[in-house]
Structure 1
């Protein structure tokens, strides 16, 4: 895993969560710019998934391979699933779904880092 990309994903996710929480408190539904932000976050996560897959194909392996792969798949699938759910919910709770997902992603990225480098925990 690339630590710089992980940090970028975590920061982008927290910024997205803050933006969506502001929309929740302003009683605004999810709009297209929210979807664009989620798409950017999703592309970053796909990039991390590709990099991790290439590293694993090159011989590097996390200690708990199955757990790592399941976390990686989940992290990549959370943004599009929550974006669809949030867009379908046309009340202020649509951005709340996105904010919740964006608050979970940094924690999952920390766990992925722990699984990738168990000695640095």
Structure 2
């Protein structure tokens, strides 16, 4: 779980979050490019989750596999949910929704790293 892919996911998510919060502060609705950027982040998160799932089969499992699985599902579903909600709200609040979604993703990735580091 620890590695360049996790770091890249966290950095990209935080940069996008700053961008979305700026757009919200400037009273701008999410553009098509904003939604595509969040979809790109979602793809990056999906790759991270697939790598983590493959890591479960190499013999080293976290001590609490059920919690780890729950975080994996939440992590992979969070960005698409933010995109869907932002499309429903085509105002500055849609940009804020994307920003909050982008801020939560690094927290989820860090939590996955913490759970994965405790091996049974």
Q: Indicate the larger mover: 55-64 or 27-36.
A: 55-64
Aligned to 1:45: 45
For residues 39-67 of structure 1, give each alpha carbon's deviation from its aligned partner in whole angstroms, at most 9, with x where no partner exists.
Answer: 11111111011111111122221111000
Aligned to 2:23: 23
**Equivalents in 1 of 2:42, 2:14: separation in Å?**
14
TM, length-normalised to structure 1: 0.93
**SS in structure 2 of the partner of residue 106 of structure 1:** helix
Instruction: Answer whether contact 2:2 2:113 (CA < 8 A) is retained.
Output: no
Could you list the structure 1 runs, at least 4 aligned residues long, displaced by more than 3 angstroms after superposition: none
**SS in structure 2 of the partner of residue 58 of structure 1:** coil
**Equivalents in 2 of 1:32, 1:2: separation in Å?**
32
**Equivalents in 2 of 1:41, 1:113: separation in Å?**
18
Q: How many residues are paired up?
A: 119
TM, length-normalised to structure 2: 0.94
Aligned to 1:111: 111
Aligned to 1:60: 60
**SS in structure 2 of the partner of residue 59 of structure 1:** coil
Structure 1: 5+ residue stretches without partners: none
Q: Please tell me the root mean square deviation across aligned C-alpha atoms, in Å.
A: 1.2
Instruction: Answer whether contact 1:2 1:51 (CA < 8 A) is retained.
Output: no
